[in-house]
Structure 1
Amino acid sequence: MTQSREVLAMMDAHTTTFGRKRGCTISRCGAFLLGTLFLLSLVITALLVYHFAPCADGALGRQHDASDSGLFAGRGFLGANSVSTKLDVRLPRSVVPVFYRLELTPFIWEGNFTFNGEVKIVVNVTEDTRNITLHAVDMKIDEAATTVQMHPPDNNGTIRNRMEDVGIDKQTNDTLRQFHVIHTAGMLKAGKQYTVYIKYVGYLNDYLQGFYRSSYTVGNQTRWIATTQFQPTDARRAFPCFDEPALKAEFEIHIARPKNMTSISNMNGTVDTTPIVGLPSYEWDRYERSVPMSTYLVAFVVSDFATQRSDDGKVGVWVRSEALDQADYSLKIAPQILKYFENYFAIDFPLPKMDMVALPDFSAGAMENWGLITYRETAMLYQEGVSTNSNKQRVATVVAHELAHQWFGNLVTPSWWTDLWLNEGFASYVEYIGMNAVEPSWKVLEQFVVHELQNVFALDALASSHPISVEVGHPDEISEIFDRISYGKGASIIRMMDHFITTNVFKRGLSNYLRERAYQSAEQNDLWDALTKQAHKDGVLDKSITINEIMDTWTLQTGFPVVTVNRDYNRGSATLTQERFLLQTSTTEVSDDKPLWWIPITYTSQNVLNFNETIPSRWMQAEPTITLSNLNTAANEWVIFNVQETGYYRVNYDEQNWRLIIQELNKASFKSISTINRAQLLDDALNLARAGRLDYATALDVTSYLAHETEYLPWKAAFTAMGYLDRMLVKTEGYDRFRIFALKLLDNIYKQTGFKDIHGDPQLTVFTRIDVLSWACSLGHKDCVQNAVTQFHNWQITPNPDNNNPISPNLKSVVYCTAIRVGGQAEWDFAWERYQKTNVGSEKDLLLHALGCTRETWILSRYLNWAVTENSGIRKQDAGRVFGSVANNVIGQPLAFNYLRNQWKRIKTYFGTSLLTINNIIKSTTKKMNTAYELKALYEFETEHSAELAIARRAVQQTIEQTEANIKWLDRNHETILNWLKRATA
């Protein structure tokens, strides 16, 4: 609650007490006197609030503190005519940091899991003030030791001894804002520099945030690690700081650690062997002064890890000694990608080294700390002969993503989390470019369409989606936007821009932007300006048009458009109409709020067959309709729009054009349509039908050609879109017909791929095989199930199964899940034992997912319980994976949701403020809901926990909307689909 609401509540309480009947009467004079006293009390209360109530700068409205007067201007805090409903969590700018000198002593062997900290912060004062407001959470500050000293005039920004003490009046905490406020006795003068010294004790928590503890075992011995995860707002848990991305400063870090361990940080360090008083078994590591950077990019790790460096010494990997060989692939590709990005951005990597650490416990996939990237083990480690091709690509993807951040996010940082997408969207796009540079045979630039663009469409088609650029304040709100919109949609619209202004212009504009804003912060308009200048200079964009004008329609509006093409077959023209695409067509915008986008229009036709030209031939300039007067194609020939699906929009056609496309797909020459556009047609058709914009008979007719398709992208798009049909129909009477139809489509591709992992197969062939086998086995394909069960049984009877697994790595996911699904407790127990014993993170991940495939409900219930139980063998970082696996099981989904609902408080306590895990659990456990009873249960869950859903409210709203859409979809389409399936399988 905001302070203004608290004041109103206090006034309401006074009024209620004054007006309450006491069984007596009051004279007019007495009433007047009491009223006067009451008004006087309100004045006194207001004055007290004015002078003493804590706020973002420690005191609201102090007449002598110039920084306070404008602190809440425009933010609706305590305005004269308005009452705020939103807490302002931004720091004042009257004091800004220049330099931190941080000393930390973590006690990870002593068992109390605390750390001692001391920080000296050199600050510049920009306005006269009596308050220094910074962030501090979950620490005990020794207020008696706090000092503020003014630098002499000739100081020049370095800490010296000749400094003047500034008295401290008091120190207060604003816990809602996570502020620690130092109220000085004297005025801090604008233009002067001061050093703030704070001594404190912090806690090495187990919530995987801030400065936290992790562990692993060797034999029966537990090895402890102290490590960090600060993004977005958890540096304040490790040291008092100005924890906002725009408030960059230089850092000099000192870590005291046990002599038998090592520490690493953002910069290179040296060991100081001087004995530490009272800690004879410790010694200091002192690190070089850093470049200016944001607090969320600071990092340090204390461990007993083994290390290995690249030939030039610039890149190093740190990992458990037992898994050091699993880091070979990361160490091989990281220097290559780093060098590639130096050329791509035309800017050298600015730090002296790059370390990468594989952590046993890590909440996200990885974190781009400058010069010290931290990873979950599965995102950095790859074991030849054990891990899969998919694991290998995952490692390459994450390494490239985090290295891209070293420029986009670290060198230039968003001024505030509103523009988080500038970090994540760019890294999520450029990761594919970096990966393609080292693994060109994987065709990852093609994979982007099915893994990113089509993937995020599903979320962005909900009314409860959000713009890419979204105003956020409280840390909970900030964490909430670390989702597929910021990552996948951000990447998709950047790819679109890369194509419509051309790659050369795009790269030059990026380089200019990074150079101009280096070591500073920026907003999206700064990027748009740099790209506009370059596009105008190179003549690829009319000077009357700006990138800002185009891209604001994609970043500031929720959702995306569907372009409907209606051809005039007599005149050879077409009318294009745009409107927002929503899965629930009944959930539409109000009449005066119809969003429109700047849409780059590309197309090709049967007689042109040019699927390479992605520069737009026409724009829909935020206009509802345009006409293309000459399509340059005959009436009996098809036209396909959105070439290579470079535009972030869906395309619908009139019935005749759909029929022409379906005819082409069913010819032997269907590959004349590009692979990406075949994937697009499948994804668009099935999702247009799902939204009620296309007849399901037409959409399913599009899928019929798959009986002859052999390429990965169209099959991946089909599997994703048909996965919705599978989820919705699996509990209905028509499912047997769907199963027969799907197996019929799979027949040819199953024979081609086979149940054998062939060494040397192209990446996309391997991926196709795994998807085909997964579907075939789950649909009960006899040969598939028999192969899986046989291979799993052979493993069970293998001597020393932990070291002699006969199952090919790429087949493991299919074999494990299928055998456990059709087996019983013996198969489950065997897999659980292998999970506990394996040393390879990717193998643990495969087994963890497969264990949720069993049809034994009591085992699934126990498995869910183990996921949120300390020391059960399942790490906290992997608990969400367990819920997702169980919920993916048709038997397990209701079990998973019921567990979530009944054990909500336990789950919330176990994960703390780990929003990512909780949101993933909510979404996975509700994904298949499609009945009124299940919707009622969702509403009840929201009501039961309304006061506790702050960190997960958007996820719950999205699941409710999705379930409503599922119910309506089933009512509207079940009979139509069943009739079509009966005809197709007759």
Structure 2
Amino acid sequence: MTQSREVLAMMDAHTTTFGRKRGCTISRCGGFLLGALFVLCLVATGLLVYHFAPCLNGRSVTINGSNDPRDDTMMETARSFSASTANKKKIDVRLPRSIVPHSYELKLIPFIWEGNFTFHGEVRILVNVTQDTENVTLHAVDMKIDENHTSIREYSSTAGASVNRTLKIDCQKNDTARQFHIIQTTDTLKKGKQYTVYLKFTGYLNDYLQGFYRSSYTVGNQTRWIATTQFQATDARRAFPCFDEPALKASFQISIARPKNMTSISNMPRKGEPQPVSGIPNYLWDHYERSVPMSTYLVAFIVSDFEVLRSPSGNFSVWARSEAINQSLYSLDIGPKVLEYFEDYFKIKFPLPKMDMVALPDFSAGAMENWGLITYRETAMLYQEGVSTSSNQQRVATVVSHELAHQWFGNLVTPSWWTDLWLNEGFASYVEYIGMNAVEPKWKVLEQFVVHELQNVFSLDALESSHPISIEVGHPDEISEIFDRISYGKGASIIRMMDHFLTTEVFKRGLTNYLNSKAYRSAEQNDLWEALTKQAHKDGVLSSDKTVKEIMDTWTLQTGFPVVTVIRDYNRGSASLTQERFMLRNGTTVVEYKEKPKWWIPITYTTESSKNFGITRPSHWMEAETSLTLPNLGANSSQWVIFNVQETGYYRVNYDKTNWQLIIKQLNNVMFRDIGTINRAQLIDDALNLARAGRLDYTTALDVTSYLAHETEYLPWKAALTAMGYLDNMLIKFPGYDKFRIHALKLLDNVYKQTGFKDTPGDPQLTVFTRIDVLSWACSFGHEDCVRNAVTQFHNWRNAPNPDKNNPVSPNLKSVVYCTAMRAGGEAEWDFAWQRYLKTNVGSEKDLLLNALGCTRETWILSRYLDWAITDNSGIRKQDAARVFGSVANNVIGQPLAFNFLRNKWARLKEYFGTSLLTINNIVKSSTKRMNTRFELKDLLEFVTEHREELGTATRTVQQAMEQAEANIRWLERNHATIREWLNRNTA
């Protein structure tokens, strides 16, 4: 599954009214009792803090910083939340293994019209009994099972699939907490026998974008309805009773009833002709071929009136609204090419007879890899040339490649449990770049990986509240929590690291062996490590005493990542390397581990004399040891050394001051390109984040960035602007920010002139991306030429004869033009953009406008915009609510509005998003990311304290938000004066 950036649901503080508002009075005695109760609560809170704060995951924590004991108590309270959450008693939500499914026969009738939105269904499951039992336990939630029709019958294949006897059912009950439906029998189901379990049920086509749900779109004034599915991770149980765990694979024979004027599609091709539905006029049955064995979360079916386009071979199809079907041409072009490429990459033919890809108007994630029927939100599959941007096009290619990679890695071989979700998502997040590079080689996406994935996930993984890639999860809320950047971005980054240290050929052969040995079954990460180790030993890239498991367990079972500190001996030409976990709290927190984490680190480096930035196989290993000595670097005392070539290793690098100065000298030389592009990006990202963590003085880190005045390449600028974005967020509300703006504009001056405010056809992808980033920063800082160009282009659009059809703004400049015009304008500009949002038929254009609408400086408009995000029929789809919050929170005046809305409208948010709490994570992240004062942290803690039992899937995100806010506060206390002094010196 591709996670979109906007995902999560929120809820809000309810207020309790006292006194006159409720029409009651409090006696003096009652007041005394309330006062005593208040004191007792304070004491209890203090005891809770005392009990929970000292220990976090087996580590004692000492905070240094403010001298105000109230501040330290506040920080400790944040930790007590994390500790108490971690210590919650967990229920076992795993199904018993006494019965496992063999095959399903599923029939569903969705009623897709206003006022009904129900579905009726029946399922017959052939099960294998592995041990004697009197219980049949399976999953079912949010449906009504007609218990009068439930039956269990012994099955005999030898008698022509005849049924021998019916077992007597004693009772049926629901275990709501575990989402179980339990059928208890009087008779015993015998080990080794097969039985058919039959259930009849009704459900509701919800609008929470989960399970079997409804979606809609309009043509003219007419609403068109769709019934569609989203089952990952635990929502197949909302559509039909089933054994809803990834390891419990079975084959599926599906029948879908649909209105005559609509079509249905499912994982497999339809067989035969549609048949009338008895008793329901104008409905037809579509019967589908039996599937290969697969997990329930990969089952999919859709009823719609969509149009379809097919590839020349006829076995690859794309579906979309008739008004948008031509926007799917790019997907139809690259989809078969990527699929064919992966067949060659894995050396395994695509296992199914067809592939359908569908663009849905409402979809919670980015896309979902249902086997043979991939579903997408429209922006992830549709591309309109001349309207959509180059970034939109790359997004489509990325997501299509990601989901097609899953057809093997995830679908053919599936993780046994969600603990190894990262195997699915991390692998697809890496291989998507390889598949995309095969069809769009000019984009240089393998280089882009470093700044878009690896450096991006570092910031999250540097928090103490991060989590291991492979993590035990149980309840569906916990499973939803780990669909995050750790599973996706970190997973992809360590797989890329493994590709480089094993070599690509060994890596690919090991993968093929793994997939063939586990085809149509489930596996754990150890199965992959074993296959790769065998191939690595066979080809001699790992010595016989090393295993992939030994190396990779240090990366998957431990939280965080290391920083390697290189201290050179300039007289002897040697270097001493040490490793330590990198955390953003460093310098403010002393963490005492029972056993310090250590990683197997592949060491690569190059020197000023060799300048070899092409060799990425490790020359040495830090074998989970604290230190390593390299006796001869091959560099003299006046030459720099750079470690982690092409940043293939998942770690940061720090150097002694002399080596940093040698690097800075090279960067400020006209020959700065002697350092490879990826490693220039690495040096900037490492330097600014080492300084952020207190491991490098900001004077040195900012000196590293000074060379950017001559840099024009995308990767270094992307790394710089991302890292400097943190400085911008932290400094913008404090004195001296004007100097930061002057310094940034000085660095941008040359690259601004080089890229210009004109989108030139035929420009390389990375040039286009550089231009957009540079213009975005320049306009946000008030660069006169930038703002004038943007406002003029927006004005020309407003005055165009037919602005809905004639938009003179070049697609790639739209994000800059739209946002700048909103920022510089007022209500009239906002209303014009809002009308264009409502009227456009292109999903990517809607996204651009949604983001831009949050750029206005009119606070009342921003507040209204947030309100519309959770208002039915406002024009903003539920799937886009988090995008609105993110847009408003990215605005310096909007961030407190977003958080206050979150606090004050919690109940409304909870009602609006229902049981689908996925959107909450992005709303929490965006609404809290700029917090850097104790007052703001206090507000966040009050919010968390009031709703700690209701956070659900957002629990981990809230922990990370509190930790990040605390780290921001400490950062300002430690660094603001130093940075301000440096800026004063360098902007004089």
Regarding TM over 0.5, the answer is: yes
C-alpha distance in 1 between matches for 2:272 and 2:412: 28
Correspondence 1:338 to 2:339: yes
The residue correspondences of 1:497-508 to structure 2 (distance < 5 A) are: 497-508=498-509
C-alpha distance in 2 between matches for 1:287 and 1:429: 33
Count of residues in correspondence between the two structures: 901
Q: How big is each residue's C-alpha offset from its partner over 1:180-205, in whole Å with a ceiling of 9 and x where there is no partner?
A: 01111200000000000000001100
Contact 2:797 2:807 in 1 (8 A): yes
SS at match of 2:121: strand
Correspondence 1:759 to 2:782: no
Contact 1:152 1:164 in 2 (8 A): no
Q: Identify the residue that residue 484 of structure 1 maps to in structure 2.
A: 485
C-alpha distance in 1 between matches for 2:88 and 2:170: 30
Q: How big is each residue's C-alpha offset from its partner over 1:776-797, in whole Å with a ceiling of 9 and x where there is no partner?
A: 0000000000000000000000
Correspondence 1:99 to 2:100: no
For residue 280 of structure 1, report the CA deviation from its aligned partner: 1.5
Q: How big is each residue's C-alpha offset from its partner over 1:791-827, in whole Å with a ceiling of 9 and x where there is no partner?
A: 0000000011001000000000000000011100000
For residue 213 of structure 1, report the CA deviation from its aligned partner: 0.2
C-alpha distance in 2 between matches for 1:273 and 1:767: 49
Q: How big is each residue's C-alpha offset from its partner over 1:830-868, in whole Å with a ceiling of 9 and x where there is no partner?
A: 000000000000000000000000000000000000001
Q: Identify the residue that residue 283 of structure 1 maps to in structure 2.
A: 284
Contact 2:918 2:953 in 1 (8 A): no
SS at match of 1:889: coil
The two structures have a TM-score, normalised by structure 1, of 0.91
Q: Hey, which bits of structure 1, 4+ residues long, moved more than 6 A?
A: none
Contact 2:121 2:200 in 1 (8 A): yes
Contact 1:271 1:284 in 2 (8 A): no
Q: Identify the residue that residue 145 of structure 1 maps to in structure 2.
A: 149
The residue correspondences of 1:39-118 to structure 2 (distance < 5 A) are: 85-109=89-113, 111-118=115-122
C-alpha distance in 2 between matches for 1:838 and 1:380: 17
Relative contact order higher in (CA < 8 Å, ≥ 6 apart): 2
Contact 2:154 2:163 in 1 (8 A): no
SS at match of 1:482: coil
Q: How big is each residue's C-alpha offset from its partner over 1:852-889, in whole Å with a ceiling of 9 and x where there is no partner?
A: 00000000000000001111110000000000000000
Q: How big is each residue's C-alpha offset from its partner over 1:615-647, in whole Å with a ceiling of 9 and x where there is no partner?
A: 100000000001000001110000000000000
C-alpha distance in 1 between matches for 2:561 and 2:599: 8
Contact 2:155 2:162 in 1 (8 A): no
* Letter of the 1:389 counterpart: S
C-alpha distance in 2 between matches for 1:349 and 1:165: 41
C-alpha distance in 1 between matches for 2:710 and 2:157: 79
The residue correspondences of 1:544-583 to structure 2 (distance < 5 A) are: 544-583=545-584
C-alpha distance in 2 between matches for 1:729 and 1:897: 19
C-alpha distance in 2 between matches for 1:179 and 1:240: 9
SS at match of 2:763: coil
For residue 953 of structure 1, report the CA deviation from its aligned partner: 1.2
Contact 1:140 1:201 in 2 (8 A): yes
Q: Identify the residue that residue 50 of structure 1 maps to in structure 2.
A: none
SS at match of 1:269: coil
Q: Identify the residue that residue 982 of structure 1 maps to in structure 2.
A: 984
For residue 271 of structure 1, report the CA deviation from its aligned partner: 5.4
The two structures have a TM-score, normalised by structure 2, of 0.91
For residue 588 of structure 1, report the CA deviation from its aligned partner: 4.5
Out of 718, 722, 732, which is 1:730 matched to?
732
* Letter of the 1:130 counterpart: E
For residue 459 of structure 1, report the CA deviation from its aligned partner: 0.1
C-alpha distance in 1 between matches for 2:590 and 2:145: 52
For residue 703 of structure 1, report the CA deviation from its aligned partner: 0.3
C-alpha distance in 1 between matches for 2:500 and 2:277: 59
Q: Identify the residue that residue 34 of structure 1 maps to in structure 2.
A: none
The residue correspondences of 1:896-915 to structure 2 (distance < 5 A) are: 896-915=898-917
Q: Identify the residue that residue 65 of structure 1 maps to in structure 2.
A: none
Q: Identify the residue that residue 136 of structure 2 maps to in structure 1.
A: 132
SS at match of 2:695: coil
Contact 2:274 2:287 in 1 (8 A): no
C-alpha distance in 2 between matches for 1:360 and 1:591: 49
C-alpha distance in 2 between matches for 1:313 and 1:111: 38
* Letter of the 1:144 counterpart: N
C-alpha distance in 1 between matches for 2:354 and 2:593: 56
SS at match of 1:337: helix
Q: Identify the residue that residue 699 of structure 1 maps to in structure 2.
A: 701
Q: How big is each residue's C-alpha offset from its partner over 1:398-449, in whole Å with a ceiling of 9 and x where there is no partner?
A: 0000000000000000000000000000000000000000000000000000
Q: How big is each residue's C-alpha offset from its partner over 1:714-753, in whole Å with a ceiling of 9 and x where there is no partner?
A: 0000000000000000011110000000000000000000
C-alpha distance in 2 between matches for 1:131 and 1:636: 76
For residue 477 of structure 1, report the CA deviation from its aligned partner: 0.2
C-alpha distance in 2 between matches for 1:153 and 1:391: 53
Q: Identify the residue that residue 10 of structure 1 maps to in structure 2.
A: none
The residue correspondences of 1:427-506 to structure 2 (distance < 5 A) are: 427-506=428-507
Q: Identify the residue that residue 880 of structure 1 maps to in structure 2.
A: 882
Contact 1:265 1:372 in 2 (8 A): yes
SS at match of 1:289: coil
Correspondence 1:260 to 2:264: no
Q: Identify the residue that residue 420 of structure 1 maps to in structure 2.
A: 421
SS at match of 1:615: coil
For residue 912 of structure 1, report the CA deviation from its aligned partner: 2.3
The two structures, once aligned, show a CA RMSD in angstroms of 1.0
The residue correspondences of 1:102-251 to structure 2 (distance < 5 A) are: 102-109=106-113, 111-152=115-156, 154=158, 160-251=161-252
Correspondence 1:411 to 2:412: yes
For residue 541 of structure 1, report the CA deviation from its aligned partner: 0.0
C-alpha distance in 2 between matches for 1:274 and 1:226: 20
* Letter of the 1:382 counterpart: Y
Q: How big is each residue's C-alpha offset from its partner over 1:72-116, in whole Å with a ceiling of 9 and x where there is no partner?
A: xxxxxxxxxxx9921000000000000000000000026310000
Out of 665, 668, 674, which is 2:667 matched to?
665
Q: Identify the residue that residue 861 of structure 1 maps to in structure 2.
A: 863
C-alpha distance in 1 between matches for 2:716 and 2:92: 48
SS at match of 1:195: strand
C-alpha distance in 2 between matches for 1:588 and 1:321: 60
Contact 2:579 2:626 in 1 (8 A): yes
C-alpha distance in 2 between matches for 1:461 and 1:914: 28
Q: How big is each residue's C-alpha offset from its partner over 1:12-57, in whole Å with a ceiling of 9 and x where there is no partner?
A: xxxxxxxxxxxxxxxxxxxxxxxxxxxxxxxxxxxxxxxxxxxxxx
Correspondence 1:615 to 2:617: yes
Larger mean Cα displacement after TM superposition, 666-675 or 270-279: 270-279
Q: How big is each residue's C-alpha offset from its partner over 1:926-984, in whole Å with a ceiling of 9 and x where there is no partner?
A: 00010010010011011111121132111111011001000110011011001100111
Contact 1:272 1:283 in 2 (8 A): no
C-alpha distance in 2 between matches for 1:531 and 1:696: 42
Contact 2:156 2:162 in 1 (8 A): no
Contact 1:463 1:587 in 2 (8 A): no
Q: Quick one: structure 1 residues 308 and 641, their matched pair in 2 at CA, closer, same or farther if it must change by over 3 Å? A: same
C-alpha distance in 2 between matches for 1:688 and 1:84: 34
Q: Identify the residue that residue 833 of structure 1 maps to in structure 2.
A: 835
Q: How big is each residue's C-alpha offset from its partner over 1:296-337, in whole Å with a ceiling of 9 and x where there is no partner?
A: 000000000000101111210000000011000000000000
C-alpha distance in 1 between matches for 2:271 and 2:653: 59
Larger mean Cα displacement after TM superposition, 633-642 or 907-916: 907-916
* Letter of the 2:532 counterpart: L
Q: Quick one: structure 1 residues 851 and 153, their matched pair in 2 at CA, closer, same or farther if it must change by over 3 Å? A: closer
* Letter of the 2:851 counterpart: H
SS at match of 1:518: coil
C-alpha distance in 2 between matches for 1:497 and 1:913: 39
Q: Quick one: structure 1 residues 629 and 839, their matched pair in 2 at CA, closer, same or farther if it must change by over 3 Å? A: same
The residue correspondences of 1:755-834 to structure 2 (distance < 5 A) are: 755-834=757-836
For residue 163 of structure 1, report the CA deviation from its aligned partner: 3.1
C-alpha distance in 1 between matches for 2:249 and 2:117: 29
Q: Quick one: structure 1 residues 273 and 526, their matched pair in 2 at CA, closer, same or farther if it must change by over 3 Å? A: closer
Structure of greater Rg: 1
Q: Identify the residue that residue 534 of structure 1 maps to in structure 2.
A: 535
Q: Identify the residue that residue 958 of structure 2 maps to in structure 1.
A: 956
